[in-house]
Amino acid sequence: MEQKITFYPIGNADTTLIELSNDQKVLVDYADMRCKDDPNDKRIDLPAELNKVVKKDYDVVCFTHCDNDHICGFSDFFYLQHATVYQSGERKKIKELWVPASILTETNLTGEARILRSEARYRLKNKSGILVFSRPKKLKEWCDQQEDICYDDIRHLIVDAGQLVPGFTLAGSGIEFFVHSPFVSGTENVDRNCEAIVMQATFNDSCKTKVILGSDINHEVWSDIVKVTRHFKNDERLAWDIFHISHHSSYTSLGPEKGVNETVPNDNVKWLFETMGNGRSRIVSPSWSIPTNDDDVQPPHRQAAAYYKRVANNKQGEFRVTMDHPTKNKPEPLTYIIDSYSCARLFIKAAAAISFPYEHKTSRAGDGK
């Protein structure tokens, strides 16, 4: 049965919708970045586009971290439980909220980040409708400071790196989510990007299509993920057919140096892309168009994009930028159909409103081209 994953053209920002064959909807991040007063802003009207597809409430909304390019405008769109001011109109409800532990413990928040923290804390205190990713020491310390919450009572709502997310199975849901990040951390300072949620989603189609959702982590975190995963002999959890690359094609997600013409990844990141990507795989950059020179605002970095393009070409695959699909003048949602016929088919809306699939047969990791 048909399933879909869609990446939205919203500039250097993230929103990904997963539609399952059982009609469940999983949204990873929400960032309504379009300037509605600017007729030349080509970023998509995110609320309108999502409402075309999702008519009911969301089974899951995952906020990988609370930077603005992952949460912008969410409090205008969703029904939030913690305050009546966010419950008017035709807001979409969130059955289960996924957040990293850092959202609960971070202090001095303002704006949308503060609202998200309030919602997450409310749900955790009510022990319902939330999963928290990672259990750092400061999460327990925060719980111990609350009068109405006991850490032992909410432990079942915590998911650690190296685990499958409960509630989703290949047999029952048609998908499973394996958590790669965040790790348990004892540090006092919060680095939102480095403590963001990173997952591998595996779809239960004929190919077991695998998607890496890379959030905004840097090359050092990727290196740690690779080392830990390989140590536990879970290499297959880093295999991929579609890779949502980290941080909008920033070179910092590949290696320590931008490079002159192409970013050189560190050894572990190189292995992740060049060995674990399946044949005819897809690399998706959730970003503005790739700049042609270093004077443009970055990321995306042209040197990082050059590396991703080479990897895709060597695998007879494709590198796509959300703000360029299908054209720079009129970007549209980038959707891959995942079904029994192929591992992923690119869905293209033609000018005459007729849609057709762009199909690739995909070989598995290690099979070469």
Cis amide prior to 299 (ω within 30 degrees): yes
pLDDT at 351: 41
Instruction: Report d(CA 194, CA 201) in Å as an integer.
Output: 20
How many other C-beta atoms are found inside a 10 Å radius of the C-beta of residue 341? 14
Running DSSP on this structure, what letter comes out for residue 127? T
Instruction: Report d(CA 300, CA 302) in Å as an integer.
Output: 6
Tokens representing residue 181 in the block: 């990040």
Among 179, 181, 124, smallest CA distance to 157 is for: 124
Could you give all domains of the chain from N- to C-terminal order, each with its CATH number? 3-360 (3.60.15.10)
Cis amide prior to 182 (ω within 30 degrees): yes
Is the distance from CB of 346 to CB of 338 less than 8 angstroms?
no
pLDDT at 137: 87
pLDDT at 123: 97
| 242 contact partners, CB below 8 Å, separation of at least 6 | 5, 209, 210, 211, 212, 281, 282, 283, 284, 336, 344
pLDDT at 130: 98
pLDDT at 135: 85
Element at 319 (helix H, strand E): strand 318-321
What sign results for the dihedral spanned by CA atoms 135, 141, 146, 147?
positive
Alpha helices in 22-127 (DSSP H): 46-53, 68-71, 74-77, 101-105, 111-125
3-state secondary structure of 292: coil
pLDDT at 148: 85
| 335 contact partners, CB below 8 Å, separation of at least 6 | 4, 5, 6, 7, 346, 347
* Exposed e or buried b per residue across 15-35, where buried means at least 16 C-beta atoms within 10 angstroms of its C-beta: bbbbbbbeebbbbbbbbbbbe
Query: Can you give the pTM of this predicted structure?
Result: 0.93
Running DSSP on this structure, what letter comes out for residue 286? -
pLDDT at 293: 82
| 141 contact partners, CB below 8 Å, separation of at least 6 | none
Q: At what angle do helices 267-274 and 219-231 cross, to 10 degrees?
A: 70
pLDDT at 175: 97
pLDDT at 359: 47
Q: What is the mean pLDDT of each run of 10 residues along the chain (369 residues)?
A: 94 98 97 96 97 97 97 98 95 98 94 98 96 91 89 95 96 96 70 93 92 97 97 97 97 97 98 96 97 82 97 97 96 93 72 40 45
